[in-house]
Amino acid sequence: MHLAYLLAQEGAAEERNPILPAANELFWGAVAFFILMFLMYRTVWPQVNKAYQDRRANIEGKLEQAEKERAEAEKLLERYRERLAAAEDETQRLLEEARANAERVRKDLLAKADADAERQLERARQAIRSERDQAIRQLRGEVGALAVELATRVVGESLDRDRQLRLVDQYIDQLGDQTQAGALTSRREDGSGGTG
């Protein structure tokens, strides 16, 4: 009997498709699959969905934060550029002011130096005039005395000293005027044009 059973099964096995499972296996497999799907839908799916929502919210939050930080960075950059432009303008203004001050100080120093030089020159001219006038007075006195003494010796008698000194002074004045006129003429010809 045992042999008959095996032969019967071999005949039945030849009639079945080897790829398709048996009907009862197919039924219980489908029931187990739907139960597993239901359990996964009730327990696992909400956790997966929650993790997905949390991850999405986290990413969106980070994107919003990054967008805010980018906007703040752009504002800071704009403020920095404005400050930099203001600093450049201020630097340019200070440089111009410093240049103007330096030019003003230079002109003041030149004017002061010119005025000092002119004062020194005028003092020197006055000193020269004073010394010249003093030398002329001394010379006149000495020349007058010598002329009177010489005239007295030549004539042999005493002349009126005051009258002779006046004559000598007049003669020296005439010579001085002629000398100054000649000096002015020669200076004009030389191109110096100054006064003595």
7-49 pLDDT, tens per residue?
A: 556 555 556 667 777 788 889 999 999 999 999 899 989 998 9
Q: What is the mean pLDDT of residues 64-83?
A: 93
- Tell me if residue 158 falls in helix, strand or coil: coil
The answer to pTM > 0.75 is: no
Residue 145, Cβ neighbours under 10 Å: how many? 14
| Predicted confidence (pLDDT) at residue 184 exceeds the cutoff of 60 | yes
Radius of gyration of the chain (CA): 66
| Predicted confidence (pLDDT) at residue 183 exceeds the cutoff of 50 | yes
What is d(CA 158, CA 169) in angstroms, rounded to the nearest whole number?
19
Q: What is the mean pLDDT of residues 149-161?
A: 63
Encode 32-43: b = buried (16+ Cβ within 10 Å), e = exposed: eeeeeeeeeeee
pLDDT tens digits for 91-110? 999 999 999 999 999 999 99
pLDDT-derived band of residue 196, with 50, 70 and 90 as boundaries? very low
